[in-house]
Amino acid sequence: MTKTTLFKQDGIPSFRPPADAIEVRPAGARSGTVPQSGAETSEMVDPFGRHISYLRVSVTDRCDFRCVYCMAEDMEFLPKRDLLTLEELDRLSSTFIAKGVRKLRLTGGEPLVRKNIMYLIRSLSRHLETGALEELTLTTNGSQLKRFAGELADAGVRRLNVSIDTLDADKFRQITRWGELKKVMEGIDAAQDAGLHVKLNAVALKDFNEDEIPAMIEWAHSRGMDMTLIETMPMGEIDEDRTDRYLPLSQVRRDLSSRWTLTDIPFKTGGPARYVNIAETGGRLGFITPMTHNFCESCNRVRVTCTGTLFMCLGQEDAVDLREPLRASEGNELLAREIDRAISHKPKGHDFVIDRTTRSPSVSRHMSVTGG
């Protein structure tokens, strides 16, 4: 008889099968453990021929910051009872991996504020060991990195993205409402000391950080970090008018090109960024441009929320509930069929619009719900 071990998840005793009993291998590979049906292992190809190989999982909608372009100050978060358990997040992610996902990114909210998050990360790392998963990574605000950097590296995480929009402590507090720049800087130091490759993400904001962008790039590249600039996206009601902050990255690139030599390069991390090399700084700079030049034609990504809702597109409301099939059976066949049904309806692209005549957000949910 297979032995199970007792553990506590979110404070609740439960049973978890040993890792070798739930091993997942790449789609089509032979496994000496649990047999899987064709539905569970079939690759995911959408109606436009795009192979879905990248999954972003939001493990919580909660965050210890309240960034003004992302959240309202008085956010109402989901009741904890509505969230998938860590074991369910593991099982859901593992089903996607069996169906061909090669890169898995954990997001939030802030993923590192989820209770016992390292249990999930350590468990998912078994797929790195089998070769079923190429990369397990996170997007974080950096506030908890000083505490977790070493554990993340030990669990097989090799790189992560840190979201930071300014290097000015006062402006950092202004944009995050609650954040402390010093803690984030200490977190970046800890991550680099642990051997993690850090990439910085910065939302380009008019009349806030546009004058800082060159200095931020120089600082990042001097530390051996890539940097990616992101256009603000019309998601969820916030406390200000996004048109006041919207800064087209086409304009930013023109400004940077007058200062430095930017050369397009084919470098990819699996996400939507298009990269250039800057000769004078010796580093890479990415541009994520959902507004000025959407990246939909090469989209290989889907997103799952902490409640098990699958969004096939960040900029569309269409979604499929995976929590019900996940909980309806101990096997994964029902879940795999719902995933296939969802992928068959993945749209060609998003409908993001930011202008003075379009007052409401393109989608009603906040960025923290789907994790970017």
For 115-146, the pLDDT digits (tens) are 999 999 999 999 999 999 999 999 999 999 99
Parallel, antiparallel or unpaired: strands 197-204 and 274-278: unpaired
Residue 34 lies in a domain: no
- Give binding residues as ranges: 56, 63, 67, 69-70, 105, 109, 139, 163, 199, 233, 296, 299, 301-303, 313
- Give binding residues for [4Fe-4S] cluster as ranges: 63, 67, 70, 296, 299, 313
Residue 96 lies in a domain: yes
Residue 147 lies in a domain: yes
Residue 233 lies in a domain: no
- What pLDDT was estimated at residue 178? 87
User: Count of domains in the chain?
Assistant: 1
pTM over cut 0.85: no
Residue 165 lies in a domain: yes
Query: pLDDT tens digit string along 90-123?
Result: 999 999 999 999 999 999 999 999 999 999 999 9
- Give binding residues for S-adenosyl-L-methionine as ranges: 69, 109, 163, 233
- What pLDDT was estimated at residue 259? 98
Residue 213 lies in a domain: no
- What pLDDT was estimated at residue 77? 83
Query: pLDDT tens digit string along 244-285?
Result: 778 999 999 999 999 999 999 999 887 789 999 999 999 999
Radius of gyration of the chain from Cα atoms? 20
Give the CATH number of the domain where residue 92 resides.
3.20.20.70
Residue 93 lies in a domain: yes
- Give the CA diameter of the chain: 69
- What pLDDT was estimated at residue 292? 52
Q: Which residue range is the domain that position 118 belongs to?
A: 50-205+300-370
DSSP characters for 263-327?
A: EEE----SSS-EEEEETTTTEEEEEE-TTTS--GGG--EEEE-TTSEEES-TT---EEE-HHHHH
- What pLDDT was estimated at residue 358? 46
Which residues does the chain have with pLDDT short of 70? 1-38, 233-243, 290-296, 315, 349-372
Please name the amino acid found at residue 360.
S
DSSP characters for 315-332?
A: T---EEE-HHHHHH-SSS
- Give binding residues for GTP as ranges: 56, 105, 139, 199, 301-303
Residue 124 lies in a domain: yes
